[in-house]
Amino acid sequence: MRQQCLGYGVLVRIAVIGCGYLGAVHAACMADLGHDVVGVDLDPGRIAALAAGRAPFHEPGFPELLGRALSSGRLTFTTDLEEAARVRVFFLCVGTPQLPGSNAADLSFVDDAVRSVAALVAASGRTAVVVGKSTVPVGTAARLAPLVEAVGATLIWNPEFLREGYAVRDTLTPNRIVYGLPDGEDGAAAQEILDDVYADQLRRQIPRLTTDYATAELVKVAANSFLATKISFINAMAEICELTGADVTQLAGAIGMDDRIGKKFLQAGIGFGGGCLPKDIRAFTARAEELGAHESVGFLREVDKINLRRRDRVVDLAKQVLGERLVGARVAVLGAAFKPHSDDLRDSPAVDIATRLQGLGADVVVTDPAALPLLARLHPALSQAEQAEDALRDADLVVLATEWREYVVMDPYDAAELVRTPVVIDGRNVLNPARWRRAGWTYLGLGRP
Ligand SMILES: NC(=O)c1ccc[n+]([C@@H]2O[C@H](COP(=O)([O-])OP(=O)(O)OC[C@H]3O[C@@H](n4cnc5c(N)ncnc54)[C@H](O)[C@@H]3O)[C@@H](O)[C@H]2O)c1
Ligand SMILES: O=c1ccn([C@@H]2O[C@H](COP(=O)(O)OP(=O)(O)O[C@H]3O[C@H](CO)[C@@H](O)[C@H](O)[C@H]3O)[C@@H](O)[C@H]2O)c(=O)[nH]1
């Protein structure tokens, strides 16, 4: 029985398995679109927070959306998968982190989730669609499909492209929706149900592409590989600029004016981090090597190396400017999150640089408008300051590591009065060098004079 949902489409009962970053946002957005959603996670602390309307991470717009969805009664959270026994669509949003000591993805969470959902569907005797959203190596869906089909359900792979910091907007209004489907009638029937879930987006003409499993899985990792490559390309140009006195920001602006290249993702600096690009390019490399395509992904190994070299560059610059004074020097690191509008510290270049400078004997103090609570939990050895002014006070070196707006618009004259020595490494190339120099600073950018 298809029930109308908020004036458009059809109400679908949904379970979101894994309420981390992706799952929590997806669950709240789907409830906001009018579906009945139960979010399931193994972590009782996370479920308690979400059920109480507390966002477990910093994401603009998410707390309001969560509150609205909870008070509508269409969104609930549980640690008990049994509570999802009556749902029609299971979204798998569990993590696929990098395996320790390897480049490959750890698929144990996906495998466990599929097995648990299949057991639940078998016990309920109802039909269901299982929709994988996690980022997985190509071939995963084909491997898991028989487990799902054995209980009369159908597997679709529907990769997610949201960016942290814009997660709500990207979920509600994505650039495109991709379904990796099995052949035949089961695939077609499952597609109709997923179209009901995304009725709002489809009504707004957001492109929906249907492919086979392998293509859908590859679209996701290819997109992230391309983005990472673009960043490492411009960072490689920054390395050349450093040897020649050229300015990578002007170079990026000039090449970006060519529509075929485009302006986005050409911001040179300390490179990419986060819970996605680094681990996704490594997992793709590992999978391609498994498939015998070692040479096809050779460039991705370089992309990774270039990216990590930019962090080394900041550490080297700090050594150059401070010399023997590095030991005991006070270094203010502005920003901890891997990017602004997020408190995510996964593979954060800022945290990596701060930790390495501390390891060299510097007295490092980190500030960030959103990530300090998480920083205290995950990196308790790093000193922190609530306010940028406190971090800057008596600093011998300032490293701008995350381009939060408050750091970008900081007044260099005011900042100069706080520090002991006015030296700044602009790790994101976002400050105006001439202005900072006029205010008495030694300004060091990445790839620009
Ligand atoms: N974070 C993003 O911006 C983003 C965007 C697109 C795609 N992805 C992909 O989505 C997936 C999830 O990413 P994330 O950042 O949300 O990860 P995460 O680590 O923040 O969250 C994963 C959650 O799954 C839970 N979990 C694990 N096994 C479970 C199980 N069997 N049942 C219920 N819950 C379980 C964990 O407790 C955790 O809360 C990854 O594959 C990632 O690559 C993430
Ligand atoms: O020109 C640029 C653009 C980005 N970055 C850095 O690259 C990283 C990743 O940025 P971004 O891609 O905006 O963030 P994510 O939220 O990690 O999103 C990426 O990873 C997600 C998870 O797979 C995908 O869904 C998104 O489409 C993809 O953009 C951050 O550290 C940025 O500072 C740069 O250094 N230079």
| Complex ipTM over 0.90 | yes
Cα torsion 70, 75, 81, 84: sign: positive
Pocket test for ligand 2, best of 170, 272, 311 (most atoms within 8 A of CB): 272
The predicted-structure confidence for 8-57, as pLDDT tens digits, reads as follows 568 999 999 999 999 999 999 999 999 999 999 999 999 999 999 999 99
* Domain end residue (candidates: 211, 239, 265): 211
Confirm whether residue 50 is marked as ligand binding.
no
Distance CA 230, CA 159 (A): 21
One domain, residues 276 and 364: yes
Q: Which pLDDT value is given to residue 56?
A: 96
Per residue in 385-408, pLDDT tens? 999 999 999 999 999 999 999 999
Instruction: Identify whether 276 is a catalytic site residue.
Output: yes
Q: Are 344 and 446 in contact (CB under 8 A)?
A: no
The total of other beta-carbon atoms located within 10 Å of residue 355's CB is: 16
Q: Is the CB of 94 under 6 A from ligand 1?
A: yes
How far CA 113 is from CA of 42, 94, 195, in Å, comes to 10, 8, 23
Distance 442 CA to ligand 1 centre (A): 42
Residues of the chain with pLDDT under 70: 1-9
Got the DSSP string for 167-179?
HHHHHHS-S-EEE
User: Has residue 328 been placed in a domain?
Assistant: yes
Structural domain count, the chain: 2
| 311 in the same domain as 190 | no
Is residue 45 in some structural domain? yes
Among 137, 181, 132, CA closest to 160: 132
Q: What is the pLDDT of residue 8?
A: 52
Q: Are residues 202 and 248 in the same domain?
A: no
Pairing type for strands 363-367 and 383-384 reads: parallel
Q: Please identify, among 152, 187, 211, the residue that sits at the C-terminal boundary of a domain.
A: 211
Domain that holds residue 66: 3-211
pLDDT in tens, 97-134: 999 999 999 999 999 999 999 999 999 988 999 999 99
**Closest C-alpha to 375, from 346, 410, 412:** 346
Task: Measure 272 CA to ligand 2 centroid, in angstroms.
Answer: 6
Question: Whose C-alpha lies nearest to ligand 2, atom 4?
Answer: 265
CA angle (438 as vertex; 432, 444 as ends), nearest 5: 50
Q: Which residues contact 73 (CB under 8 A, 6 or more apart)?
A: none
Task: Copy the structure tokens of residue 25.
Answer: 């946002």
